[in-house]
Amino acid sequence: MSATNPFARHLYLRIWLAVVAGVAVLTLAVGWAWRVAAEQNAQTLAPPAREIVLRDEQGRIVLQGLAARQPTAPAQGLEFLVATEQGGSYVLQMAPRAERAERAGRPGAGPAHRAMMFWTRPPFGFAWMLAVVGIAVAVGVFPIIRRLTQRLEALQRSVQRFGEGDLSVRVPAQGHDEVAHLARQFNAAAERVEALVKAHKSLLANASHELRSPLARIRMGLELMGAQPPSAALREELQRNIAELDQLVEEILLASRLDVREADVGTSEHVDLVGLAAEECARSGAELEVQADGLEVQAVARLLRRALRNLLENARRYSHGPVSVTLVRHAGMAEVRVCDQGPGVPAALRERIFEPFYRLPGASERAGGVGLGLALVRSIAGRHQGTVHCENNPRGPGACFVLRLPLAA
């Protein structure tokens, strides 16, 4: 059935239609049966007219015509309507016999009444009609109700399994009605929950691994110190490891808050993207090129600054030359392009580099970085209905990271 068909999209309409159709068909069938019974009863109570001749003592015809029996109560006897050939009409009445008069008060005593079909006699006629209609409607609606309950039972079993910890369970979504819509919503929610749980497990495992390195270096430095005062180089190494540890903890906490949509990450306001980019470029020594004015976005300024700073630090870490930042307006979006002159990113890995704690082969030993910077950039972009992706540097070797954000109204 078409997705635009209201009977395919609304289950209650199909149930209502099935009930109405069942009642209509059975009403026609009962009406036909009732008509057949009424015709038979009419024939029994009012037999066809017969010719009657009335003669006097000399044998002369006094009255001749067709006599039709009229319906009367048993206690009133018989009554005939005689229509003559000349157009006149007469009524012939006959008193009831004594034994018939005695039985007149008992129901069904008359021969015509006994000849009536038993299933058309009051009160059985109305009762059997209601019974047949009820049974037929129940039988006709049962397949629809059973199909609905089977799908609801499948949904119930899936929800129960999901609640018991099987996050991979999904519900078959068939059709376009309310149950199918509920199944699709459950599947989408289950996929979201499963992805979040996997992401948190991966974040915990990788964070545990990354935390060991600076802690081990700090422990080793403290052991080398002993009772002697630390040298300047050792103090610098300890401070660098503590800063790395502090950055890692901060980025883990921020990533966890960004994963939870309901978490408060700051107040959204109008942010001048040109001014913010100028401040960050001055801080990191990057080149800024503005190709459009009035680039304001609705964003949390702290998060947007963090995203741009992560992109600049990532570009500076891998670039063999100056880093450039270009601001343009494209298709109603503000576009920030951060380009470096490094080795670039293989096309097959341009999506993986945005995964938490993923680093390019051979890059884990480079100075700085814990593998969460680009993942945070994507989370911040998604939080502001924006996108971020990686592409080749059109001006030479290296890569460009393009951050796109909707312009403020």
Domain residue ranges of the chain, discontinuous segments joined by +: 8-138, 178-259, 269-406
pLDDT, tens digit (0-9, with 9 covering 90-100), for 277-298? 999 999 999 999 999 888 899 9
Q: What's the pLDDT at 168?
A: 85
* Class of the CATH-defined domain 269-406: alpha beta
Q: What's the pLDDT at 120?
A: 55
**Nearby residues of 317 by Cβ (< 8 Å), 6 or more positions away:** 366, 367, 368, 369
Q: How confident is the model at residue 408 (pLDDT cuts 50, 70, 90)?
A: confident
What are the angstrom distances between the C-alpha of 153 and each of 14, 138, 142, 179?
19, 21, 16, 11
pLDDT, tens digit (0-9, with 9 covering 90-100), for 125-161? 666 766 777 777 777 777 777 777 788 888 888 888 8
Q: How high is the mean pLDDT of the chain?
A: 77
Higher pLDDT, 38 or 352: 352
Give the pLDDT mean for 331-335: 90
What is the Cα–Cα distance from 256 to 201, expressed in whole angstroms?
11
Q: What's the pLDDT at 365?
A: 46
Give the pLDDT mean for 153-173: 85
Higher pLDDT, 208 or 172: 172
Percent of the residues in the chain that have a pLDDT greater than 90, as a whole number: 16
Answer yes or no: is pLDDT of 257 > 50.
yes
Answer yes or no: is pLDDT of 118 > 60.
no
Most trustworthy range by pLDDT among 37-46, 113-122, 393-402: 393-402
Residue-level length of the chain? 409
CB 301 within 8 A of CB 269: yes
pLDDT, tens digit (0-9, with 9 covering 90-100), for 3-58? 556 655 566 676 777 777 777 777 777 777 777 766 666 655 556 777 878 787 88
HEC string for the chain: CCCCCHHHHCHHHHHHHHHHHHHHHHHHHHHHHHHHHHHHHHHHHCCCCEEEEEECCCCCEEEEEEEEECCCCHHHCEEEEEEECCCCEEEEEECCCHHHHHHCCCCCCCHHHHHCCHHHCCCHHHHHHHHHHHHHHHHHHHHHHHHHHHHHHHHHHHHHHHHCCCCCCCCCCCCCCHHHHHHHHHHHHHHHHHHHHHHHHHHHHHHHHHHHHHHHHHHHHHHHHCCCCCCHHHHHHHHHHHHHHHHHHHHHHHHHHHHCCCCCCCCCEEEEHHHHHHHHHHHHCCEEEECCCCCEEEECHHHHHHHHHHHHHHHHHHCCCCCEEEEEEECCEEEEEEECCCCCCCHHHCCHHHCCCCCCCCCCCCCCCCCCHHHHHHHHHHHCCCEEEEEECCCCCCEEEEEEEEECC
Give the pLDDT mean for 264-276: 86
Instruction: Evaluate whether the domain defined by 178-259 bears CATH number 2.40.30.
Output: no
φ, ψ (nearest 5 deg) of residue 384:
-105, 25
Give the pLDDT mean for 396-409: 90
Q: What's the pLDDT at 112?
A: 46
Q: How confident is the model at residue 114 (pLDDT cuts 50, 70, 90)?
A: very low
First-to-last C-alpha distance (Å) of the chain: 42
Q: What's the pLDDT at 226?
A: 65
Among the residue ranges 46-60, 174-188, 342-356, 363-377, the one predicted with the least confidence is 363-377
Strands across the sheet containing 333-339 = 287-290, 324-330, 333-339, 399-406, 387-392
CB atoms under 10 Å from CB of 114, counted, come to 10
CB 277 within 8 A of CB 295: no
Single-letter residue type at 29: A
Buried b (16+ CB within 10 A) or exposed e, 156-192: eebeeebeeeeeebebebebbbebbeebeebbeebee
Answer yes or no: is pLDDT of 308 > 90.
yes
